[in-house]
């Protein structure tokens, strides 16, 4: 007699047939989840394909402890959850007002949204379509880019750091280095056919936006407008295309758990599906998408450069059972050998230096080895911990 393999379809049919639903025990559910996890690992199946197979339970390796679950019913929802700033005002008589708005947002929220940012609506639509098309490619095509090696400058992977994390996140992602373009474009996927062209155009435009925002942030701190740009050396620009498939049990897991960003600043484009949440005053706040805007958040290095005046805030991605979600963050980073520390202009008798000096390479190594944890890696670099 031929033995049926433990495919996802067979596993969830056994576990969730009407006959078994009322009588199924917790232990049986755990066994089915473990079997599903084993199938996922042994088949090198990406999460997108697992979700598309119609599974009704998530593998045990994705299930968070009861004390570390999203508690989605406790999340506050507000259309004005983070400030929305009109960047058009930077070019006219309201320049000082916009600088003040940016300062207040960085100081109080660590997050803000921008409109009239100069990125064409058509370009935003193109990059979203390219990301969606990529994750719909046959698995064999996507796996050409797969790697669990974090040093690779172009790689497709799943979760966050599959080599070290104990609990996985409900996410596939394509990570790309994208500055200078000529150093990395040849590594990028060549499917969909317009991938390299569309992504290159987007990266170039986003870089212009980042530099404008950095000038405004420098000015808001009372520094020379080009201070931050000069300080961070031969800076890096990375982007990720995050794919969060529908999740049959979204209350048990995360797309990404709460974390701060280790880099300088992040520019996030998200589709129309909610998922981003920001921690404010001990409460998680849902950041609902606003069409044709970008979300900007302060990273750990900016918190250091501001001597703790501006905040790198915990944020997370949650998933839902009905709709896939795509987000495209661009990470702006100092060079590995850049020495980070509060500038002398931010330090005085009333505001002593909060952090010791360190290189970005030193910081990122600690961040990567720790993984996504709620405790900010910055605490390890405080003067008080020396």
Per-residue pLDDT tens digits for 242-277: 999 999 999 999 999 999 999 999 999 999 999 999
pLDDT attached to residue 74: 76
Decide if pLDDT at 16 tops 70.
Answer: no
The answer to whether residues 120 and 89 belong to one domain is: yes
In this structure, the answer to whether residues 36 and 58 fall within a common structural domain is yes
- What is the per-residue pLDDT for 9? 42
Among residues 49, 68, 87, which one ends one of the domains? 68
Please say if the pLDDT value at position 22 is more than 70: no
**371 band by pLDDT with thresholds 50, 70 and 90:** low
Closest alpha carbon to 12 in 2, 20, 1: 20
State the average pLDDT over residues 19-35. 50
Is residue 254 within 8 A of residue 261, CB to CB? The reply is no
Domain boundary among the residues 68, 87, 104 is at 68
- When mean pLDDT is compared across 109-113, 157-161, 177-181, 232-236, the lowest value belongs to 157-161
CATH code for position 95: 2.60.120.330
Confidence at 25, pLDDT banded by 50, 70, 90: low
pLDDT at 26 over 80: no
Residue at 378 is within a domain: yes
Whether 234 and 217 map to the same domain: the answer is yes
Tokens read off for 219: 């000015």
Could you tell me the residue range of the domain that residue 346 belongs to? 75-385
Residue 294, classed as helix, strand or coil, is: strand
Residue spans of alpha helices (H) in the chain? 8-16, 18-21, 26-43, 47-52, 95-108, 121-136, 139-142, 181-184, 195-220, 227-231, 300-305, 360-370
**3 domain residue, yes or no:** no
Do 253 and 280 sit in the same domain of this protein?
A: yes
**What is the per-residue pLDDT for 20?**
40
Least confident of 15-29, 81-95, 117-131, 294-308: 15-29
Rounded Cα–Cα distance for residues 380 and 385 (Å): 7
User: Tens digits of per-residue pLDDT, 293-335?
Assistant: 999 999 999 999 999 999 999 999 999 999 999 999 999 999 9
- Give a yes or no: residue 1 inside a domain: no
Q: Looking at the structure, tell me whether residues 271 and 330 fall in a common domain.
A: yes
Domain identity same for 159 and 283: yes
Residue-level pLDDT at 261: 93
Answer yes or no: is 295 within a domain: yes
Domain termination site, one of 25, 48, 68: 68
pLDDT tens, residue by residue, 162-217: 666 788 899 999 999 999 999 999 999 999 999 999 999 999 999 999 999 999 99
pTM of the model: 0.87
For residues 184 and 232, state if they share a domain.
yes
What's the confidence (pLDDT) of residue 127?
98
- Banded model confidence at residue 17, pLDDT cuts 50, 70, 90: very low
Above pLDDT 70, what percent of the chain?
A: 84
Cβ-based burial of 55 (10 A; exposed 0-12, middle 13-18, buried ≥19): buried
Q: What is the pLDDT of residue 98?
A: 98
139-143, 295-299, 365-369: which has the highest mean pLDDT?
295-299
pLDDT at 386 over 80: no
Q: How many domains does the chain have?
A: 2
Indicate whether 120 belongs to any domain: yes
Q: How far is CA 36 from CA 31, 40, 48, 64, in A?
A: 9, 6, 14, 16
The answer to whether residues 40 and 96 belong to one domain is no
Q: What is the pLDDT of residue 13?
A: 40
Nearest to 264 by CA among 289, 290, 227, 291: 227
**Domain-located, residue 190:** yes
Residues 284 and 185 in one domain: yes
* Per-residue model confidence (pLDDT) at position 6: 42
The answer to whether the CB of 15 falls within 8 A of the CB of 28 is yes
Does residue 90 share a domain with residue 59?
no
Q: Is residue 2 part of a domain?
A: no
pLDDT at 253: 96
Is residue 25 domain-shared with residue 136, that is, in the same domain? no
The full DSSP string for 2-55 is PPPP--HHHHHHHHH-HHHHTT--HHHHHHHHHHHHHHHHHHT--HHHHHHTT-
Both 19 and 129 in one domain: the answer is no
Mean residue pLDDT of the chain comes to 87
Region 34-40: mean pLDDT is: 55
Is the residue at 318 inside a domain? Answer: yes
Among candidate residues 53, 43, 49, 55, the one with its CA nearest the CA of residue 16:
55
């Amino acid at each position: 007699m031929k033995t049926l393999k433990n495919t996802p379809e067979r596993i969830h049919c056994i576990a969730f047939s009407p006959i078994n639903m009322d009588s199924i025990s917790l232990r049986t559910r755990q066994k089915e989840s473990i079997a599903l996890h084993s199938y996922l690992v042994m088949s090198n199946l990406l999460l997108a394909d697992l979700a598309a197979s119609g599974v009704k339970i998530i593998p045990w390796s994705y299930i968070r402890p009861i004390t570390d679950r999203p508690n989605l019913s406790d999340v506050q929802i507000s259309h004005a959850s983070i400030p929305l700033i009109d960047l058009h005002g930077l070019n006219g008589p309201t320049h000082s007002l916009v600088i003040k708005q940016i300062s207040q947002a960085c100081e109080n929220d660590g997050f803000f949204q921008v409109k009239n940012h100069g990125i064409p609506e058509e370009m935003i639509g193109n990059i979203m379509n390219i990301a969606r098309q990529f994750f719909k490619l046959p698995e064999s095509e996507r796996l050409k880019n797969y790697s669990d090696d974090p040093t690779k400058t172009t790689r497709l992977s799943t979760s966050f750091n599959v080599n070290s994390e104990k609990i996985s996140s409900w996410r596939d992602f394509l990570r790309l280095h994208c500055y200078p373009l000529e150093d990395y474009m040849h590594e990028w996927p060549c499917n969909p056919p317009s991938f390299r062209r569309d992504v290159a155009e987007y990266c170039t435009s986003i870089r212009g936006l980042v530099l404008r925002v950095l000038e405004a942030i420098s000015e808001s701190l009372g520094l020379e407008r080009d201070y931050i740009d000069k300080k961070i050396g031969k800076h890096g620009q990375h982007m990720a295309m995050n794919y969060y498939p529908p999740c049959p049990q979204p209350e048990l897991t995360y797309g990404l758990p709460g974390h701060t960003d280790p880099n300088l600043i992040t520019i996030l484009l998200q589709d129309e599906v909610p998922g981003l949440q920001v921690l404010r005053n001990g409460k998680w706040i849902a950041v609902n998408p606003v069409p044709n805007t970008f979300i900007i958040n302060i990273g750990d290095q900016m918190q250091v450069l501001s001597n703790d005046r501006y905040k790198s805030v915990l944020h997370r991605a949650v998933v839902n059972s009905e709709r896939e979600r795509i987000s495209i963050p661009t990470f702006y980073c100092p060079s590995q050998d850049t020495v980070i520390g509060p500038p002398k202009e931010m330090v005085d008798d009333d505001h002593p230096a909060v952090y010791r000096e360190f290189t970005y390479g030193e910081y990122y190594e600690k961040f990567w080895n720790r993984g996504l944890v709620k405790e900010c890696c910055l605490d390890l670099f405080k003067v008080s911990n020396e």
